[in-house]
Chain A
Amino acid sequence: MNKTEKGRVSRRRLLNWVALLSTAVALPARAWAAVTRPDTAFDATALDQALMALGETPTRHEGVIFTTPDIAENGAVVPIRVEVDQTVLPNVSKVYVLVEMNPNPLAAVFDIASGTEVYIETRVKVAQTGNLYAVVESDGQLFMASRETKVTLGGCGG
């Protein structure tokens, strides 16, 4: 493929994308009509406050499998994974991710369609060394797992 052709492909791709977007703008609103954003929990500035806003205090449960690095090269990007062992913890419909030391501990909430595996990977900001929590809702009850991640300081500038 020579360069000129490649350029055309690229521009065509851009046009396609614009067309797609215009048909999709209405989609998100429809998609989460059923799910309201837990604003109080997102606005909470301390972990216990955020947990309180989600309802009862979560119970630790081995069915919540939470993977985070023991030590993170960079607090701006900390990869996390939440899985649920459905043989011991069935009917999980929500997953919350909280970062204890952040100004607003609640980072994200995921609503899972029923009858599917619970498996979520994302990357979050972690302000400083502390605990990360994965809280899941199963049949209206909250269960959790927590992990400590150490955030290290960078190179020459400290």
Chain B
Amino acid sequence: MITRWCLLWLAFPAWADEGVFDQYRDLMGDDNPAIFVIDEGEEFWYQSQGPSGATLEACDLGLGAGVTRGAYAQFPRYFADTDRVMDIETRLIHCMETLQGRDRTVTAAKPYSLRGDFGTELEALVTWLAAESEGVVIAPEQGHPKERAMYALGEEIFFYRAGPHDFSCATCHEQSDKRIRLQQLPNLTDHHDAADAYGSWPAYRMSQGLVRTMGWRLQDCFRQQRWPGLTFGSEVSIALQTYMAVNAAGGIMTAPGLKR
């Protein structure tokens, strides 16, 4: 029996730990197709669009009009001009509306790619802006009472169990070193795990051939939680991003990542 176990161990040493896909990832190398999407996003930023024929260059992402370097790493944050806490996706929709005169019912109608699509404008912009924060310390603003309220709300929602399966975010994401099937699960209540996970989105999803954003990741989590559809730019979406970003604060932005 002991010999048998040893043989098993020799034959499949990687299966018992998190190195299960190391060989696969070594073969993949660091060639991440997200680099195309970064370029596309940059072009969208400088492209004149909408009734006003304006670019997004005057968009204030929190660090002043047109400042893109490091801006992603400080979202979600409070904006006085809208009197609300916004994630980067809703802020971009706001800029498209105010600067370019584009109707938000159109720009926000389909923020994320569906099956068979090959990327949306919003996905490209967010990917480029994340790349503009590569290597930057994650430092979401928490100075405004509304920002702190968003964190508190995010924490409540994180543990809220509902639906036919009784799932909450915490079901999969409040313990360390766990996996679902073979997929490692980050413990989002833990600083190091939260920093690694939050800092790696947006990410190129190999299974879909697309870059996906943090907003999309949340929508898809809720689908798998058997909840109804999460509304783009909703309180829950921004609150959970705030909860994750604050838990990740001090970590480094590495996005765009490369994921299963």
Q: Which residues of A contact B (CB under 8 A)?
A: 3-4, 6-7, 10-11, 14, 67-74, 76-77, 79-81, 123, 152-158
Contacts and interface: CB of A to CB of B under 8 A. Distances in A.
Interface string B32-50: 0000000100110110000
B28 A10 contact: no
Interface string B112-141: 000000000000000000000000000000
Contact of B66 (A3, A68, A156, A157): A3
Contact of A73 (B43, B55, B66, B182): B182
Given A3-B66, A67-B27, A69-B23, A156 B180 contact: yes
Given A71-B20, A73-B260, A7 B57 contact: yes
A79 B21 contact: no
Contacts, number: 73
B233 interface: no
A155 B183 CA distance: 6
A4 B57 contact: yes
A67 B260 CA distance: 20
A7 B46 contact: yes
Interface string B184-219: 000000000000000000000011110000000000
B24 interface: yes
Interface residues of B, number: 31
Contacts of A79: 24, 27-29
B212 to A, nearest CB: 13
B206 A156 contact: no
Contacts of A81: 27
B224 A155 contact: yes
A14 B44 CA distance: 12
B181 A152 contact: yes
A154 B27 contact: no
A153 B207 contact: no
B206 A7 contact: no
Contact of A76 (B20, B66, B206): B206
Contacts of A80: 27
A37 to B, nearest CB: 24
Most B Cβ at <10 Å: residue of A6, A71, A156: A156
A154 B57 contact: no
Given A11-B46, A73-B24, 15 more contacts: A3-B66, A4-B57, A11-B43, A67-B27, A71-B15, A71-B182, A73-B206, A73-B260, A74-B206, A74-B260, A76-B209, A77-B207, A153-B181, A155-B260, A158-B181
B39 A10 contact: yes
Contact of A7 (B23, B39, B45, B260): B45
A81 B24 CA distance: 12
B173 to A, nearest CB: 12
B68 interface: yes
Nearest to B165: A156
14 contacts: A3-B57, A4-B57, A68-B27, A69-B24, A69-B27, A71-B20, A73-B182, A74-B260, A77-B207, A79-B24, A79-B28, A152-B182, A154-B207, A156-B224
Closest 5 interchain pairs by CB?
A: A7-B46, A79-B27, A156-B224, A69-B24, A77-B206
B172 interface: yes
Contact of A10 (B43, B68, B172): B43
A4 B42 CA distance: 11
Contacts of B43: 10-11, 14
Nearest to A78: B24
A55 to B, nearest CB: 29
A96 B183 CA distance: 32
A158 B39 CA distance: 33
A10 B46 contact: yes
A66 B211 CA distance: 30
B37 to A, nearest CB: 14
